[in-house]
Every structure is written in C-alpha cells, then in structure tokens.
C-alpha cells in the first residue's frame, strides 16, 4: 500500500520528482479544497510542514489518526506544540538545512559590527576613536561559538579558514567538534566568556538553552566584545540584554532572532533595544533570504522523508525531552 505524504506547502517540481520513484501518494494542501484536505489528512502517514502559522498542528492533529512522522521544513522545532502531539509520532527537524546562509549572515553581522559599519561616520578621527565604531581586528582573534551543530560549525569554519580565528565551542556534553580548538560543556560557559573577542550564538531553543545568556554572562564579556545571535531570541534574556548594552557601549550586539510572546516572534521587541547605537537587528531573514535557500531546505526535508520511505534511519530525530 502506498504511503500518504501531506505537505502543507507546495513543493518545488524537483521535490515531486524525487518522490515519484517511491510508492507514495503526495498531497499538497494549498492545491486542495477543504474536503480534499480533510481526506488527505485522514490518510497521512507523513506530514511535512513549517508547522508555524501556515498550519496549526494543535487543531489539526485530530484529523490525522494514521500519522507516524512529522518532518519540519524549519531547522528549529521550538515552536511545535509538543503536548498536542501523541508520543507514537516521531518528529524530525531540518537541522543543517540553513547552515550556509545563516553562518554567512552571522559573519556579515560580526564584520559589520567589528568595522563600525552599522554606524559609519565620514569623520575619520571620530570613526577611529569612538567606542561604537573603532575598527576591531578579526584575524587571529578568539571566537566563541555557542552550539556546535550545523550552523555553529560553519561559523567556526569560516572563522578558522577565512580569518585564522582560535575557536572555542560550547555544547551540552562538551564533546569535540570539527573546526573547534577547544569545546566545553554548557556549565563552563562563564569560564570561557571572558576569553572571547567574538561570541556567536547558534543554539536551538530548548529547556536547556532558554535564558542561558543573562546579565551575569553579558557582564563577563571582555571590553569591546562582539556578540551575534542567529539561534533563537529567547536564548538571551531580553531585559537583561537591554540593561547591559545600554550601560556597556563597548559591547556590540547583533541579532537576527527575536523574542517570542504568545507564540509569535515580536519585531520590534518590547524593550527599546533597537534604539541603542551598539545594537544591530535584522528581521529573522538569515535563513529565508532567497527562493534558492527555501528550495534547498525543502529538498533536504524531502531527502529525509525518502530515508523513511526506504526504511533507513532519518536524520535529526527530535528528542522531546529537550523541549518538554
């Protein structure tokens, strides 16, 4: 019997083609009327979704009694309503699908801040002497990356190969990772923060990482440190960040990710962060920059679904205990 796959978005032709050689029926919800949608969901064994605003999993899960696998198009799964998803359904993320564009964006923010390009003045003396713009040397500096997954590793690689940075990584267990000179477990974070010239946050949001960076951590930074966040906003405590950045204008902070309230990432945020001269913000566009990137991410998700269809072990299985 054919496996029924439901996608909440239209797939690119290439993705459809990839699925054609498998014994699978593909339904793309945007192409269907209301009744056809319910029919598709009732047979769905695999659901491919962003599972964000385009498809409310909480209210729809009851229409999918056959569901065995959820494959997200997004790399993060922190927005999923875990409590509403029965335990027999396996969830797979799309971790790694956005590593290249997100790491590029992280480095763009790092270099923009390091060279004062977020607030350039045409007065050379002012440019060189102001704490806000004075250019920092990047080559051979110390780079601390929080998270050694796909994005964190690519940030570390660009640092090492492009700018000969010395790389320190933080992950949950402290296990070694490619492109890192040293790796420590999360509980050693406070010890390594003062060593870093640059800090890049590339952590997923889960119960271990929520609020990891607060006033104490920010105050441990060395003078003139550059910090960028391309993971999730809520890894950093917003009010504490605002307080420290307002006081310590030597720290330059860039973020592409924001704080979630009532299931919604709020831009601008609740504090007046974006008015601070040592703050640079972009509206969560690092990963979804171009059609090309979104298509690549969807193809990656389809490749993982194909692993399931071939009875191989899909990648990026989500451990619910990290979130609940």
Which chain residues interact with a second copy by CB under 8 A?
A: 100-101, 104-105, 107-109, 111-112, 114-118, 120-124, 127-128, 134-135, 137-139, 158, 161-163, 267-268, 274, 280-286, 288-290, 292-293
User: Which distant-in-sequence residues (6+ apart) come within 8 Å of 301 by Cβ?
Assistant: 48, 71, 72, 73, 94, 97
Query: Which residue, 240 or 256, is less far from a second copy as judged by CB?
Result: 256
Which one, of 84, 83, 12, 23, lies nearest residue 48 by Cα? Answer: 12
Query: Which residue, 1 or 124, is less far from a second copy as judged by CB?
Result: 124
Phi, psi of 136, deg, nearest 5 = -100, 145
Query: Which residue, 24 or 289, is less far from a second copy as judged by CB?
Result: 289
Query: Which residue, 178 or 215, is less far from a second copy as judged by CB?
Result: 178
Phi, psi of 37, deg, nearest 5 = -60, -45
| Other CB atoms within 10 A of residue 248 CB | 17
Query: Which residue, 135 or 194, is less far from a second copy as judged by CB?
Result: 135
Please state the closest distance from residue 254 (CB atom) to a second copy, in A.
8
Please state the closest distance from residue 107 (CB atom) to a second copy, in A.
6
Please state the closest distance from residue 256 (CB atom) to a second copy, in A.
10
Dihedral of CA 39/40/42/43: which sign?
Answer: positive
Query: Which residue, 158 or 318, is less far from a second copy as judged by CB?
Result: 158
Please state the closest distance from residue 258 (CB atom) to a second copy, in A.
9
Query: How many whole angstroms separate alpha carbon 109 and alpha carbon 229?
Result: 9
Query: How many whole angstroms separate alpha carbon 186 and alpha carbon 11?
Result: 38
Query: Which residue, 114 or 309, is less far from a second copy as judged by CB?
Result: 114
Please state the closest distance from residue 253 (CB atom) to a second copy, in A.
14
Phi, psi of 260, deg, nearest 5 = -95, 130
Query: How many whole angstroms separate alpha carbon 174 and alpha carbon 177?
Result: 9
Please state the closest distance from residue 282 (CB atom) to a second copy, in A.
5
Query: How many whole angstroms separate alpha carbon 268 and alpha carbon 256?
Result: 11
| CB 176 within 8 Å of CB 152 | no
Please state the closest distance from residue 261 (CB atom) to a second copy, in A.
16
Query: How many whole angstroms separate alpha carbon 14 and alpha carbon 41?
Result: 23
């Amino acid at each position: 019997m054919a496996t029924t796959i439901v996608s909440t978005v239209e797939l690119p032709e290439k993705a459809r083609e990839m699925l054609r050689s498998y014994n699978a029926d593909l339904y793309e919800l945007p192409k269907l009327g209301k009744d056809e949608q319910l029919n598709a969901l009732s047979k769905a064994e695999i659901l491919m979704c962003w599972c964000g605003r385009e498809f409310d999993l909480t209210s729809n899960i009851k229409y999918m009694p056959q569901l065995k696998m959820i494959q997200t198009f997004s790399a993060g799964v922190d927005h999923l309503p875990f409590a509403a998803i029965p335990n027999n359904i396996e969830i797979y993320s799309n971790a790694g699908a956005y590593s290249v564009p997100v790491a590029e964006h992280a480095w763009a923010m790092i270099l923009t801040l390091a060279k004062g390009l977020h607030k350039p003045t045409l007065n050379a003396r002012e440019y060189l002497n102001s704490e806000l713009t004075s250019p920092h040397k990047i080559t051979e500096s110390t780079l601390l990356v929080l998270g050694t997954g796909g994005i964190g590793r690519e940030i570390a690689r660009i640092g090492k190969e492009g700018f000969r940075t010395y790389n320190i990584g933080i992950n949950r267990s402290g296990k070694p990772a490619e492109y890192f000179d040293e790796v420590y477990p999360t509980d050693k974070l406070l010890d390594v923060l003062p060593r870093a010239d640059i800090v890049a946050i590339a952590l997923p949001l889960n119960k271990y990482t929520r609020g990891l960076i607060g006033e104490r951590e920010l105050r441990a930074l060395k003078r003139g440190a550059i910090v960028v966040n391309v993971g999730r906003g809520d890894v950093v405590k917003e009010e504490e960040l605002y307080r420290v950045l307002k006081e310590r204008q030597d720290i330059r902070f860039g973020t592409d990710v924001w704080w979630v309230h009532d299931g919604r990432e709020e831009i601008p945020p609740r504090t007046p962060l974006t008015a601070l001269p040592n703050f640079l913000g972009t509206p969560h566009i690092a990963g979804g920059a171009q059609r090309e990137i979104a298509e690549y991410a969807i193809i990656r998700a389809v490749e993982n679904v194909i692993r399931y269809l071939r009875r191989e072990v899909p990648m990026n299985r989500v451990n619910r205990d990290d979130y609940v």
